[in-house]
Amino acid sequence: MTEAGPGPTRAPTPPGALAGIRVCDFCGQLAGAGATKWLAAFGAEVIRIEDPVRQGRWDILRGIGPFVDERRGLELGGGYNNHNTEKLGVTLNLRTERGRAMLAELIAQSDVVTENFAAGVLERWGFGWERLRAIRSDIIYVSNCGFGHVGPYRSFKTWGPIVQAVSGLTFASGLPDRPPAGWGYSYMDHTGGYYMAMAIMLALIHRRRTGEGQWVDLACTEAALTLAGPALLDWTVNGRPSRREGQPHSNRSPSPPMAPHGIYPCAGEDAWVAIACRGDDDWARLAAVIGEGWTGEAAFASRAARLANEDALDARLADWTAGLAKFEVQRRLRAAGVPCSAVQTPGERVDDDPDTRDLWPTATHTAIGAVRVDGIPVRFEKTPWRIERGAPCLGEHNEAVFGRLLGLSPAEVARLAEEGVI
Amino acid sequence: MSALAGVRVIELAREPIAFAGKLLADMGADVILVEPPAGDPARAYPPFLEDLPGPDRSLWWWHYHTSKRGVVIDLDAPEGRERVKALVAGADVLLESEPTGRLAALGLDYDDLKAARPELIFVSVTPFGRGSANAAAPVTDLTVLAGGGPAWSCGYDDHALPPVRGGGNQGFHTACHFAVMSALTALIWRASSGEGQFIDVSMHGASNVTTEAGSYSWLVARQTVQRQTGRHAQVIMTQETQMRCKDGRWVNTGVPPRAPGEFGAILGWLRELGLAESFDDAVFLEIGAAMEKPITYDLIGVDAEATAIFSAGREALALIAENVTAYDFFVGFQRRGIAVGPIYAPEEAFEDEHFVARGFQTEVTHDDLGRAFRYPGAPYKLPASPWRICRRAPKLGEHDAEVLSGLELPSGRRPP
């Protein structure tokens, strides 16, 4: 692991699984930052590079809420801190010749260069693929943007919601005869980041075996489109479009066929419970818990019948759930072996749910202080992830990184700051 | 050369992990899919080729099991368990999502296998993680997304309507993404240490950390986001971002225009369409276009002129939407530098010229049917070690002979 410079004292832990890998990281927002957050949590040295002239404002999350208290400012954004834990932060003004030279020196000592700018931005700064591999012949370069660097829409720009709209994810989420409900957050910023992390590691594995670097062109819209496989094959094989009468109805499940399958109202304000019966056994168990005569009606006797009469089934089931608290339904149906979950609020799943107990590590940010963040939902027996340090403040590790990697003295680093290079 | 060429993965067939195996297989890993004698239940998942059910006709099966080889092993029979051990002796990764306690009862859990194969990376994907008090509770994609946070954030402004499950089995997909990231991380570490390890992936945990501000608004500020139609769940209700176009199709208008160049572009397009004359607030677009800096959010609702300019921008988008198709709205605004998108059905994206030009459509030959079909393609382009579907999904026991016949069973017996 790297020497972090000023910061909290770090307890000794086993070396990270990705220790020794250095990433020259231009990623921001979530689609990019989420990818390098994984690498950093497993011990890679991720050096986040930001623009001192714009004070890192390219990453809109830097200065926007949530905030821990009444303070506001570019160092205090809660989302930025969440997505950039365990990274080092440096500044480089690439408008200056010295800034570009320092970047080249950093790249020469890095394994990976990552970015999620609009297509062509890094190239316009003079660090396109040809230049990167001229600096280091086995460099891995992973770019992540909405439409990728090739194709008719390469100049088009996206945010997570646009990626989700274009790729069919928004369309596929909703109730019939209503507008698309879509995703109430940037699912594809998270997921684009996961694919970016996979791409980086796949390229590292390839390089270890062959000595060869490469440029990975990741288009978030394309990654998203791979998530609609069965619907796409229904189209290409059977010619059946998913834009058709009665669709989408995403709280139901035609494949695998399940009924009942939905989200039902419970007692209390905006309280809901999800129930799914995988087959007749689940239905028999659910019917036993409900204990009302209607569950024995022929209309609900088989899965095929329940699928054919799903509107009536849902109405009956909703009448039953509406009189109960959501966690009471969950408790009773889980005990009976029926798939069931309350729709949990953020507070319920973060604070009260024993199954997320180890999921929210406390990270210490130099300006914000100690705050809980998203952890990693995975336990490694021998090389556990570690999230202790919060996101870097702007240029927080200039002295440490430029000193250690570029051999600059603190006085030289101070002078570069005065000259507007860093 | 494929990135994962030579990496052997044993996948004990279960619906929640099918996608993880595919992601590894399409990058070149030799994934051996182990099914029970009756076949995996997912072979019966619709849709089917020509709508006719059959064990080799499920398009669900076709999609999730590309590039894998398939064998039949009965884990309930002693000889079947010997075969699994023999397979593991030559494997790098084992992927499993068995009911809690089943592998331990069969003598096939990590602790049973590691001594004979210390290099093994054992990836366990379970609903709540190993050791959870809820380990026996069955889940589906729906219940994972309901308990894990995504459903709370998805739905409509009208909270009398239920929260919505995002479509397409994304709860299981998210767990698979973490399983694959974990396997790759462990492979990298093994290359230097020589050691395998046990990895415990929680589906519930995976969804919990895939909610963007849903989780961190609470973690940071103890604030609760509320679901809103087709846009980000937030602590406060915000304005609609979806608009319906002339052709009845919807578009997502993204982040509302705030920059001078954007107001200028909108005004320019209104004029081209002959709509500027009838748009009463065109003057505010002109003022917006002449600003020196973008409007900042803190001025909206506070500064009268900034608010009027901001509103005029949104109303102009709505007016243009009424007068053009969703596709023209998308391309027209994107060519003017404003990020919007059409709300495509998946097949409409698949057929769009951009994805066609990028080569996303991938032809897969079904030798048994004498036909080839178009499949979704690569999630990422690694030119030196490309993604590739190397074969269609396996029939039941299709590769028994080539995979199992040469196995050395731990007991020293050769299989019959």
| CATH number for the domain that contains residue A150 | 3.40.50.10540
Q: pLDDT at position A14, please?
A: 63
For residue B412, being part of any structural domain is answered with no
Contact: B214, A185; criterion CB under 8 Å: yes
- Tell me, yes or no, if the pTM score tops 0.95: yes
Among the partner residues B64, B166, B379, nearest to A250 by beta-carbon distance: B166
Identify residue B234 by its one-letter amino acid code.
Answer: Q
- Is B274 inside any structural domain? yes
Q: Which residues make beta-bridge pairs with A22?
A: A45
Range of the domain at A166: 22-225+358-418
Question: Best mutation site among A80, A251, A355 for testing chain B: the one with the most B CBs within 10 Å?
Answer: A355
Say yes or no: B162 and B116 in one domain: yes
The answer to whether position A72 is within a domain reads yes
CB atoms within 10 A of CB B388: 16
Is residue B355 a part of any domain in this protein?
A: no
From the CA of A55, how many Å to the nearest CA of chain B?
Answer: 16
**Which residues have CB under 8 Å from A77's CB, separation 6+?**
A61, A62, A63, A64, A65, A67
Residues 158-197 of B with CB under 8 A from A: 159, 161-168, 170, 173-174, 177-178, 180-182, 184-189, 191-192, 195, 197
Q: What region, left, alpha or beta, does residue A391 occupy, with left being phi > 0 and alpha being psi -120 to 50 degrees?
A: beta
DSSP, collapsed to helix, strand or coil, labels residue A131 as: helix
Is B294 within 8 Å of chain A by CB? no
Rounded Cα distance between A347 and B215, Å, is 8
Beta-bridge partners for B123? B95, B199
Of the residues B327, B344, B361, which one is the last residue of a structural domain?
B344
Clarify whether residues A54 and A89 are in a common domain.
Answer: yes
Please spell the DSSP secondary structure of A24-76, one letter per residue. Answer: EE---TTTTHHHHHHHHHTT-EEEEEE-TTTTTTTSGGGG-S--SSS--STT-
Number of structural domains found in chain B: 2
Say if CB B127 and CB B137 are below 8 A apart. Answer: yes
Say whether both B144 and B255 belong to one domain.
no
CATH number for position A295: 3.30.1540.10
Cα separation, B109 vs B392, in Å, equals 30
Asked if B49 and B170 sit in the same domain, the reply is yes
A201–B181 C-beta distance less than 8 A = yes
Question: Looking at the structure, do residues A51 and A165 belong to the same domain, yes or no?
Answer: yes
Sort strands A88-91 and A45-50 into parallel, antiparallel or unpaired. Answer: parallel
CATH number for the domain spanning B35: value is 3.40.50.10540
**Domain boundary at A293, A320, A345, which?**
A345
Rounded distance between C-alpha atoms, residue A283 and residue A264, angstroms: 16
Identify whether residues A162 and A271 lie together within a single domain: no
Return d(Cα B66, Cα B390) in angstroms, integer: 8
What would the pLDDT profile of A299-330 be if each residue is shown by its tens digit? 999 999 999 999 999 999 999 999 999 999 99
Q: Which residues of B47-82 are buried (b: 16+ CB within 10 A; e: fewer)?
A: bbbeeeeeebbbbbbbbbbbbbbbbbbbbeeeebbb
Q: Is the pLDDT of residue A142 over 60?
A: yes
* B186 and B257 share one domain: no
User: Residue A47: which of A103, A126, A121 has the closest Cα?
Assistant: A103
Distance from CA of B110 to the nearest CA of A (A): 11
pLDDT at B415: 46
The Cα–Cα gap between A362 and A386 comes to 10
- What average pLDDT does chain A have? 96
Confidence check: pLDDT of A159 > 90: yes
- Short-list B4, B226, B244, CA closest to A199: B4
Name the residue with tokens 């380990």.
Answer: B135
Query: How far does CA A146 lie from the centroid of its chain?
Result: 15
Choosing among A202, A215, A270, A358, which should be mutated to test the B contact, i.e. which has the most B CBs within 10 A? Answer: A202
Residues of chain B contacting A377 with CB distance shorter than 8 Å? 129, 178, 201-202, 204-206, 208-209
CA distance A332 to chain B (A): 11
* DSSP category for residue A219: E
Tell whether A41 and A188 lie within a shared domain.
yes
In a domain, B409, yes or no: no
Q: A85 with A213, same domain?
A: yes
B206 and B290 share one domain: no
Q: Which of A293, A318, A345 is the last residue of a domain?
A: A345
Using a CB-CB cut-off of 8 Å, the residues of chain B touching A217 are 380-381
pLDDT of residue A40: 98
A175 and A84 together in one domain:
yes
Q: Is A366 in the same domain as A332?
A: no
CA distance A394 to A57: 10
Q: What pLDDT was estimated at residue B412? A: 59
Does some domain include residue B226? no
Whether residue B292 sits in one domain with residue B179? no
The interface pTM score, or ipTM, of the predicted complex is 0.97
The per-residue pLDDT for range A165-210, each reduced to its tens digit, is 999 999 999 999 999 999 999 999 999 999 999 999 999 999 999 9
Say whether both A303 and A395 belong to one domain. Answer: no
- Which of these, B109, B91, B88, B89, lies nearest to B99 by C-alpha position? B109
Cβ-defined contact of B45 to A255 (cutoff 8 Å): yes
Each residue of A97-138: pLDDT tens digit?
999 999 999 999 999 999 999 999 999 999 999 999 999 999
Q: Of A345, A367, A397, which residue sits at a domain end?
A: A345
DSSP A276: E
Q: Does residue B238 lie within any of the structural domains?
A: no
At A258 the three-state DSSP class reads: strand
Q: Are residues A284 and A329 in the same domain?
A: yes
How confident is the model at residue B300, as a pLDDT? Answer: 86
Q: State whether B354 and A191 contact (CB < 8 Å).
A: no
Same-domain status, B65 and B199: yes
CB contact under 8 A, B164 and A206: no
The answer to whether residue A16 is domain-embedded is: no
Residue A133 CA to residue A111 CA, distance in Å, equals 11
Q: Which residues of chain B have pLDDT under 70?
A: 410-416
Please answer yes or no on whether B148 and A157 come within 8 Å at the CB atom.
Answer: no
Partner residue opposite A347 with nearest CB, options B187, B218, B241: B218
**DSSP string over A327-382:** HHHHHHHHHHT--EEE---HHHHHHS-GGGTTS--EEEETTTEEEE----SEEESS
Which of B132, B240, B358 to mutate: most A Cβ within 10 Å?
B358
B337 to chain A, closest Cα gap in Å: 7
CA distances from B65 to A144, B229, B400 (A): 27, 35, 16
CA distances from A148 to A114, A115, A151, B345 (A): 14, 12, 7, 20
Number of domains, chain A: 2
Nearest C-alpha in A relative to B193:
A17
Q: Output Rg (C-alpha) for chain B, integer angstroms.
A: 27
B301 lies in the same domain as B152: no
Q: Is residue A288 part of a domain?
A: yes
Taking only residues 83 to 122 of chain B, the set having a beta carbon closer than 8 angstroms to any beta carbon of chain A reads none
Question: What backbone torsions phi and psi does residue B309 show, to the nearest 5 degrees?
Answer: -65, -45
A221 within a domain of the structure (yes/no): yes
Q: Please indicate, yes or no, if residue A92 is contained in any of the structural domains.
A: yes
Same domain flag for B187 and B295: no
- Which residue range is the domain that position B164 belongs to? 8-210+378-404
Shared-domain flag, residues B175 and B294: no
Interchain contact, A340 vs B197, CB within 8 Å? no
Q: In this structure, what DSSP letter does residue A117 have?
A: S
Residue A6 lies in a domain: no
**Same domain flag for A404 and A295:** no
Q: Examine the domain organization and report whether B52 and B145 are in the same domain.
A: yes
Are B106 and B196 found together in one domain? yes
Identify whether A85 is part of a domain.
Answer: yes
Per 3-state DSSP, chain A is made up of helix, strand and coil in percentages (nearest 5) of 40, 15, 45
Residue A3 confidence (pLDDT) above 60? no
Report DSSP state, residue B16: G
Tell whether A133 and A184 lie within a shared domain.
Answer: yes
pLDDT at B298: 82
Which of A215, A250, A261, A378 to mutate to probe the B interface, most B CBs <10 Å? A378
A183 and A311 inside one domain? no
